Structure 1
């Protein structure tokens, strides 16, 4: 069953981005995700399965 990830959630990944950060904001959801590095603002497209395997922790967006 897929994880409950929504736009605006902050995820911490196991692997670091080349800039040294490992926290990303979810910009778009679906079969593919668009995530944005919170340090360098680079946007990355990644499949749902790859992202779910790399997630270490999820911080939910406060409504």
Structure 2
């Protein structure tokens, strides 16, 4: 999956505050996510985060920009 810092993820289950959307702060073997409802930050293993993911809502996609690396050949 192509998840980048700054993307917004919609999860299958709600956070206790009622929000389903999380902002991606860090990507690697673990994801650092911030709840868009209450601001809580959590670290999730990549496998668990990808399983709980419903859809990716990317700021770059909303703006109609290309997310690929402009320096790649």
Larger helix share, 1 or 2: 2
**Gap runs ≥5 in structure 1:** none
RMSD of equivalent CA atoms: 0.9
Q: TM-score, normalised by structure 1?
A: 0.91
Larger strand share, 1 or 2: 1
Q: TM-score, normalised by structure 2?
A: 0.79
| Aligned with 2:27 (options 26, 29, 34) | 29
Greater RCO (CA < 8 Å, at least 6 residues apart): 1
Size of the aligned set, in residue pairs, is 61
**Gap runs ≥5 in structure 2:** 66-73
